[in-house]
Structure 1
Amino acid sequence: MRLRTTYRQRWALSLRPVLLSSLFAVALGQSALAAEYGNRTVQFNIPASSGADAIEVFAKQTGLQFLFQSRILAGINTKALSGELSYVDGLNTLLEGSNVRAEFVAQDIVVLRLKPVQPQSPVPTQKLKRKPKIRASTPIAKPEPILVKDMIVVTARRRLERLHDHPGSVASFNAEKLEAARVNGVEDIVYRTANALVEDRPGADMNVFIRGTGTATNGSGTRTDTGIGLYYDGVYTYLAGSRIPLLFYDMERIEILKGPQGGLYGRNTVGGAIVAQSARPRDQQSAAFRAEIGEYASRLVDGYVNMPVNDVLSVRVSGYYQERDSYYTNINPNKTDRGSRTLAGRIRVRYQPSTNLDALFSYEKSNEDKGPVIAVPITNDLQHTSYTTTDGFLARDIERLNANIAWNGIDGVELRLIAGIANTKSRTLSDFNNLIIDENTGEFQVGEQYRGLKAKQKSIDLIAKSTSHGPVQWLAGISYFEDRQHKTSHTLQGFLGIGQTTFEGSSEGGIQMGAAFVDLSYDISDKLTLNTSLRYSDEQRSGKSTDAETIDPINGGTIATPNLEYDTAYNKFSPAISLGYDLNDSIMAYAKLTTGYQSGGINARRASNLLEAFGPSTAINYEAGIHSEWLDRRLLVNAAIFRLDQNNFQYQSGNSPFGEFVNEGRARTNGLEIDITGRLTRWLEVEAHYGYLDARTTDVPNSTFGDISGFRKFGIPHHTAAFGADIHTSILGGKADLVLNVNYTLVLDRFLGDFVVQLDDYTLFDVKAGIELPNATRFYMFAENLFNDTHIITPVTTQAAEISAPRLVGFGISKTF
């Protein structure tokens, strides 16, 4: 296996799987990674001490991250280490005379392993008193990297750990996977995850479902607060609507945490959470870019420049630009539908003035402009044909400023501050003239709707956690989140023979949420681990509507609506507990109970000048699963079964003509997930993910659709599956490498009942193929939705629906410097 020599080569070039590293490390000896990163020097001052204490001090003085089993350093004492030495020489001196070796597996990650035991001279080992967990030293508490060669590493519990040791279901994507699969947004990772679904609506935001709960609807057809938590660079991200506005470029890792995450992540994580971490500044100079062109005049350019300014300061600048024409052909000869354009940039500054302090600051700004939401006639052969005669758009500007500061001045404790401010401004215009809504009645919608939103979010988390390597690991913190919004609206609507009605108004309001949380992990024995967490959340919503007026279509004149004010509050406890048991060195079984809640809201009934609050819904998740490693970690098999009960389920009541939201229903989801990763050869890695869901509303007797008790949740499929393969092998006598990535997604048996239309099964097949030259240049071809499988995303009426994007083929080039 060819080991890469730099982090930038991993980011932009590496698609080949990381195979059998523990087997090949012995044969390769000092790898190119060690030669590149291990030659850096530092002034050491480490007193003689135990092996664990010496490694902890070594980590602080170098900024390296160590992963090792606690038993490896048991009984080892080291000599004093002083003077200016390279990292490799310092480690060799520190570990001299022991049976431990150090392996660089990334720029700042070192794995400690036992040297292989020679058959003729077996080394006796002692029986462990405690479970040999992989523990992570935290020299400078930085956003933890995710790639550790023969390990899949996650941070779902806000600490670095192997997925094998984590009691839960997590889909993890490191920088290599993200680059290989051309991941540019949330939809690209959801398509590759079991029991996850995305409604990717051209011309509108998308809705993401995890285990039957979505970001903009809960599966009952009701648009309430989001059921999926979204964390970007450690900061909770929320947007009214609550569809996902995130763009992914120059990312370090993305994790999808499945099931309620209320214990550590809090509100609105009933279905799960998406945790995204952008790439950090590094202490090695590097740069990369990518450029693509394709059908529909699509063009994309992105890249980054990483610049170490001096020994304590480094900067990383990233940018992204994408534009394309509309997917739709407009039959109106005087009209061309609007396409989409996205422009984004980010600067991250990292300041490390001492071994105890690491400060990371980020500023990001993005602008999105999309065409109108377009519905097409439902036929056996869905066509991207538009009938619109006027324009519409969705435009949004987002600014983010984040700070992530960690301090390790207290022995065995890390203190971290995570703060963020986000400003959002969005504008949506829908203008419909002569758009046929129902061909049977000849009914036309004539008018327009404009909606404006200005929002500002503030958040701050203060977290303390243990960094020692004992049997007890703990974490505690407090959190504050605030969201303030101002909305304006103008609606002009009407139907032939009825007249025309105009609504105008504005509103402002917000959310304030405070929380405290704690997480405790205890190794009860060498095989059994207990983990428990508890979060208390206190939430308040307040606001008012102003300047509202309605033009009476029958009597004429203006009907003024008095200002409406609201103020409601509630609090929730969200506990979680899990047990993990090592059946042997390769199989870990777990059982867990987790809880969460989905925020409540306000019903505004202008006709009766009333405001009425509806409360939060709660969820309890029961789950059991296994994580297993086979064939010397070449084959990973993880599986989980679960039941999710939702009480006080939110839906729109059919008992009122105004369709108020209520939270008095119940729902239940049963499911299973299987994830398989196979590192079959040095040049081939395959993945298979399968999910089954039976998601039903068990007690919803009076919805706007009638009694839907016992019905399956709308739009949620029974089966989801994703298959992928990565190939990276030498060709042309070693003058180039062949690089191939394929991903196949299958969604079966979606349900919408008999209320509108039946949703079809669908498949998506994406492929990327190219060659990589020795000078770190890659030429490739890509195809999204290669088989051009177009399907209904959201029905508008029984005869019109929003449909998925067609096939897109293009070419690209990438280069790393």
Structure 2
Amino acid sequence: MPSTQVWAQAADAAAENIRASGSNDIIVTARRQEERLQDVPISITVFDQKQIDNRNVVSALDLAKYTPSLAANSRFGAENTTFSIRGFYQELRTTASVAVYFADVVSPRGGGSTSGGDGAGPGSFFDLQNVQVLKGPQGTLFGRNTTGGAILLVPRKPEDTFGGYVEGRVGNYGMRRVQSVVNTPIGDQARLRLGVDWQDRDGYLRNIAPTGPDRFADINYVAARASLVVDLTPDLENYTIASYTRSDNNGPIPKVTNCNTTRNGATLPTGLLSCDQFAREQGLGRYVVENTVPRPGIELDQWQIINTTTLQASDSLTIKNIASYAQLTSTSRTEAFGTRWIMPETFLGQPTGDLAGRELSFVPVMAAPGLASNDQSTFSEELQFSGSAGAGRLTWQAGAYYEKSNPLGTYGNQNPSNLSCADSDTFQCVDALGRVLGREGRQGSLSRQLTRTTFRNIGLYGQATFDVTDSISLTGGIRYTWDKTNSVARKQVIRFPAENDARIYCLNPALGPNGPVQNPDGSFDFSNSIDPAAAATACQQSIEQKSKAPTWMLGADFKPADNILLYAKYSRGYRQGSTNPFGGDGFETFGPEKVDTYEVGAKTSWSGAMPGNFNIAGYYNDFTDQQVQLGLINLQGLVAPNTAIVNAGSSRIYGVEVEAAISPFAGFDLSASYGYLNTKLKTLTPVTIPPGSLYNFVLFTSLAGEALPYSPKHQASVTASYSLPLPESVGTVTLSGTYSYRSKLITTYTSAEGTLRPLSLLDLNLNWESVAGSPIDLGVFATNVTNKYYYTHVNEQSSSGFISRYLGEPRMYGLRVRYRFD
């Protein structure tokens, strides 16, 4: 079994326990039961609610900043962030490689053409007991799609005393945030907890285009949660959580940072337009962007009900049933590549006439008219048995899991590519670039892709630990999972041989008479278009993918002394295959992937005058049947670029993780963590384009022989905290700071520009608890104190003449006031 790693465990929450006992008494649920953190031989990073507040963690991207071995991709907004742990990242249109759990239930599915679901959206990080980041495959107790690990959000459970708080925050960029939590007993057998979190903040990206709002990358969400615990009998407890999240903001936009006008000696028309945009923005500020999408924004509506019933059948047997139902709907309309090209009066030596001044863009991401980008329900049911035998020397768990995720309706996107559109929803578009180049109707196009996707997942599992002696334990576990995905998809391409003259075709030529017909010379005949009246049902395709696999874990741990734990483990992880209804023709499905992981480590703690702890873990992963992303391109511009997922990779991953904390003297606590990650894509199997495909060029976003994307080699974090020696009547005043470092981060291998530079950030906090003995707490916080200008993701499109990048947050600061009542 793996060892415990507490990467960013700030000493302010643990110092008193360390000083008192030389150990850390934080309770975690990493093995699906409550245990003392230091006794759990699993590699974990833990943040309690105080640490989350001090670091101003609002989004999944914020969490990754403080957690070595954890990375995040927020290209499609904070609502749709995907995680990577130890090099296991999630490609667009695959299932998660890092599962996110709230109250023992996996996050609701998305299933759309953009990322959505399977994560931790806005409003997820308030009123929590803690956040646990589990490293490495968790395929026995947590199931499929945890090849990288799992993130557990543990909410505060209702308590048997009355109390709560109201908190307000204000900050720069017009930030306003209000939180309130009330906990109350209801008689002798029930307890209720209610909470709400609301935040509104202006965006730090300034839009200089006439279309859209003035600001992007803003925050606007509300999250509400109600929890009720009822003791039905002394041995039977019912725990229900109802939650709701609504987020509505303008979304992020990348900034064009590079342009090139030629490629392989040929002029790039889109490169010329990109360079015009690049020059236009110079001198207007670092955080200037441009938008062409009407009504841009990212909306998220999610609600969920979780019911957990626990029966203490006997001293040695516990039966637990966990049932959940959730609905998730998200809609994205965003300038995903940050391009706003303006047609000049003269272009490539030709007058542009009435096209002068017309706007066009590369490929905006837009929900189809009247539909959502993701629209899915998720039901899950888990029956769990746990117990002990042999005077407590054997502890065990076993259970069955069922999940069904159904579409709430048809959902999907439409993407205008190289078009100038007054309203793409009603096909009011012109192929401006094509007309100027003498290729009208062939340079720009609009893709419309709709789907209804259903997921079904079934699992059976068991795990047991046997104490061979008082200091040696052996653990074994196995799980078998059956997965099935069904999609019904409609993929259409709309071309404009004349202004506002829409001609509709099936995007997949294999779907019959309304698809493009390939000529003997390799070109395509687009003469047989779909009757607009039949377009709503034409081009329909049914897709199915099944996968199944066992996963397991074998481990041993040895405690030569009370405060020393040594461990070793071997485990198998598995990520399901699935459908890709929006992939290019011939690439609509992909198979499962698997990983074998070997891990050893040690964990120690000590008391005395300078209490502390030191943990170290080393691991090696053998990764096969890897799901990798493939870019699909038509070099003649017949259709917009697309992506595919193929099982074409095999990788090896190894690393070391170290964590240490110490309290040199009363009031001063210091903690540090470091992660070293070495990844290599060993092989990448060549991919052949199916005959008759509209695409004639493929491009992997990874490169054989190189490191994997989103796998920084070095990550480190240092937190120092000092409480001033003041009288108790004054309150507790604590100064703290966190320095985090991440080495270069590769987002894509399509060029050297796909690598993000090393990044170091400094955050500071000043907290005054119980001001003058009152129930009032004050705080001042600042993130990115040195105001670093940095990027979080790269769109590498040199083949189209530009590179754009998403910008990280500048310096953020604010003041918080909390009133506690009981």
Same fold (TM over 0.5): yes
Question: What residue in structure 2 maps to residue 315 of structure 1?
Answer: 192
The C-alpha deviation readout for 1:314-372, integer Å capped at 9, x for no partner, is 11000000011111123347851243200010111110132201111111111011213
| Cα distance, 1:223–1:432 mapped onto 2, change above 3 Å | closer
2:552 alignment partner, SS class: strand
Question: What residue in structure 1 maps to residue 675 of structure 2?
Answer: 691
Whether 1:747 aligns to 2:742 is: yes
Question: What residue in structure 2 maps to residue 186 of structure 1?
Answer: 60
How far apart, CA to CA, are the structure 1 residues paired with 2:14 and 2:776? Answer: 20
Question: What residue in structure 1 maps to residue 575 of structure 2?
Answer: 598
How far apart, CA to CA, are the structure 1 residues paired with 2:644 and 2:803? Answer: 27
| Cα distance, 1:686–1:384 mapped onto 2, change above 3 Å | same
Query: Does the 8 A contact of 2:711 with 2:745 survive in 1?
Result: yes
Q: Aligned-residue CA RMSD in angstroms? A: 3.0
How far apart, CA to CA, are the structure 2 residues paired with 1:404 and 1:516? Answer: 19
Whether 1:761 aligns to 2:745 is: no
| Cα distance, 1:636–1:713 mapped onto 2, change above 3 Å | same
| Cα distance, 1:808–1:357 mapped onto 2, change above 3 Å | same
How far apart, CA to CA, are the structure 2 residues paired with 1:655 and 1:362? Answer: 44
How far apart, CA to CA, are the structure 2 residues paired with 1:618 and 1:303? Answer: 44
| Cα distance, 1:178–1:467 mapped onto 2, change above 3 Å | farther
| Cα distance, 1:330–1:505 mapped onto 2, change above 3 Å | closer
TM-superposed deviation, 1:401: 0.4
How far apart, CA to CA, are the structure 2 residues paired with 1:727 and 1:805? Answer: 27
Question: What residue in structure 1 maps to residue 423 of structure 2?
Answer: none
How far apart, CA to CA, are the structure 2 residues paired with 1:645 and 1:375? Answer: 35
Whether 1:237 aligns to 2:159 is: no
Greater Cα shift, 554-563 or 770-779: 554-563
TM-superposed deviation, 1:489: 2.5
2:52 alignment partner, SS class: helix
| Cα distance, 1:763–1:654 mapped onto 2, change above 3 Å | closer
Whether 1:421 aligns to 2:325 is: yes
Question: What residue in structure 1 maps to residue 590 of structure 2?
Answer: 614
How far apart, CA to CA, are the structure 1 residues paired with 2:336 and 2:606? Answer: 58
**What are the within-5 Å matches in structure 2 for residues 647-796 of structure 1?**
647-653=624-630, 659-702=643-686, 704-705=698-699, 708-731=703-726, 734-751=729-746, 752-753=748-749, 755-757=751-753, 758-772=755-769, 773=771, 774-796=773-795
| Cα distance, 1:569–1:270 mapped onto 2, change above 3 Å | same
1:184 alignment partner, SS class: coil
Whether 1:558 aligns to 2:504 is: yes
TM-superposed deviation, 1:407: 0.5
How far apart, CA to CA, are the structure 1 residues paired with 2:384 and 2:649? Answer: 36
TM-superposed deviation, 1:534: 0.5
Query: Does the 8 A contact of 1:565 with 1:611 survive in 2?
Result: no
Residue from 464, 478, 482 that aligns with 2:385: 464
The C-alpha deviation readout for 1:525-565, integer Å capped at 9, x for no partner, is 2221101110110111112124x543233496322443111
Whether 1:337 aligns to 2:334 is: no
How far apart, CA to CA, are the structure 2 residues paired with 1:229 and 1:22? Answer: 31
How far apart, CA to CA, are the structure 1 residues paired with 2:601 and 2:779? Answer: 39
2:361 alignment partner, SS class: strand
**AA partner of residue 198 (structure 1):** A
Question: What residue in structure 1 maps to residue 547 of structure 2?
Answer: 570
Query: Does the 8 A contact of 2:401 with 2:458 survive in 1?
Result: yes
Residue from 60, 85, 90 that aligns with 1:210: 85
1:583 alignment partner, SS class: strand
**AA partner of residue 30 (structure 2):** A
The C-alpha deviation readout for 1:670-722, integer Å capped at 9, x for no partner, is 11100112233342322111001111211114374458211111232110001
| Cα distance, 1:162–1:634 mapped onto 2, change above 3 Å | same
Question: What residue in structure 1 maps to residue 272 of structure 2?
Answer: none
Whether 1:430 aligns to 2:334 is: yes
How far apart, CA to CA, are the structure 1 residues paired with 2:101 and 2:288? Answer: 37
Whether 1:490 aligns to 2:427 is: no
Residues paired across the two proteins, number: 675
Greater Cα shift, 453-462 or 562-571: 562-571
How far apart, CA to CA, are the structure 1 residues paired with 2:597 and 2:336? Answer: 44
How far apart, CA to CA, are the structure 2 residues paired with 1:401 and 1:473? Answer: 30
How far apart, CA to CA, are the structure 1 residues paired with 2:587 and 2:251? Answer: 32
| Cα distance, 1:179–1:298 mapped onto 2, change above 3 Å | closer
2:307 alignment partner, SS class: strand
| Cα distance, 1:634–1:432 mapped onto 2, change above 3 Å | closer
How far apart, CA to CA, are the structure 1 residues paired with 2:19 and 2:783? Answer: 37
1:497 alignment partner, SS class: helix
Residue from 227, 247, 269 that aligns with 1:368: 247
Query: Does the 8 A contact of 1:434 with 1:444 survive in 2?
Result: no
Query: Does the 8 A contact of 2:72 with 2:82 survive in 1?
Result: yes
Query: Does the 8 A contact of 1:756 with 1:795 survive in 2?
Result: no
How far apart, CA to CA, are the structure 2 residues paired with 1:433 and 1:180? Answer: 34
Structure of higher RCO (CA pairs closer than 8 Å, 6+ residues apart): 2
TM-superposed deviation, 1:490: 2.8
The C-alpha deviation readout for 1:196-238, integer Å capped at 9, x for no partner, is 1234458453232211123x33xxxx65221001111110114
- TM-score under structure 1 normalisation? 0.77
TM-superposed deviation, 1:437: 6.5
- TM-score under structure 2 normalisation? 0.77
Query: Does the 8 A contact of 1:191 with 1:722 survive in 2?
Result: no
Question: What residue in structure 1 maps to residue 691 of structure 2?
Answer: none
**What are the within-5 Å matches in structure 2 for residues 203-352 of structure 1?**
203-204=77-78, 205-214=80-89, 216-217=90-91, 223-240=93-110, 241-242=115-116, 244-246=119-121, 247-332=124-209, 336-338=214-216, 339-352=218-231
How far apart, CA to CA, are the structure 2 residues paired with 1:366 and 1:331? Answer: 31
| Cα distance, 1:448–1:581 mapped onto 2, change above 3 Å | closer
Query: Does the 8 A contact of 1:252 with 1:279 survive in 2?
Result: yes
TM-superposed deviation, 1:742: 1.8
Query: Does the 8 A contact of 1:403 with 1:419 survive in 2?
Result: yes
2:711 alignment partner, SS class: coil
**AA partner of residue 814 (structure 2):** G
Greater Cα shift, 403-412 or 674-683: 674-683
TM-superposed deviation, 1:254: 1.3
| Cα distance, 1:766–1:251 mapped onto 2, change above 3 Å | same
- Residue identity (%): 21
TM-superposed deviation, 1:168: 2.5
**AA partner of residue 599 (structure 1):** Q
TM-superposed deviation, 1:410: 2.9
TM-superposed deviation, 1:156: 1.1
TM-superposed deviation, 1:731: 2.4
How far apart, CA to CA, are the structure 2 residues paired with 1:376 and 1:395? Answer: 22
Residue from 512, 520, 524 that aligns with 2:468: 524
| Cα distance, 1:376–1:656 mapped onto 2, change above 3 Å | closer
| Cα distance, 1:24–1:424 mapped onto 2, change above 3 Å | closer
Question: What residue in structure 2 maps to residue 119 of structure 1?
Answer: none
How far apart, CA to CA, are the structure 2 residues paired with 1:644 and 1:433? Answer: 34
How far apart, CA to CA, are the structure 2 residues paired with 1:302 and 1:617? Answer: 42
Whether 1:398 aligns to 2:398 is: no
How far apart, CA to CA, are the structure 1 residues paired with 2:647 and 2:337? Answer: 37
Question: What residue in structure 2 maps to residue 100 of structure 1?
Answer: none
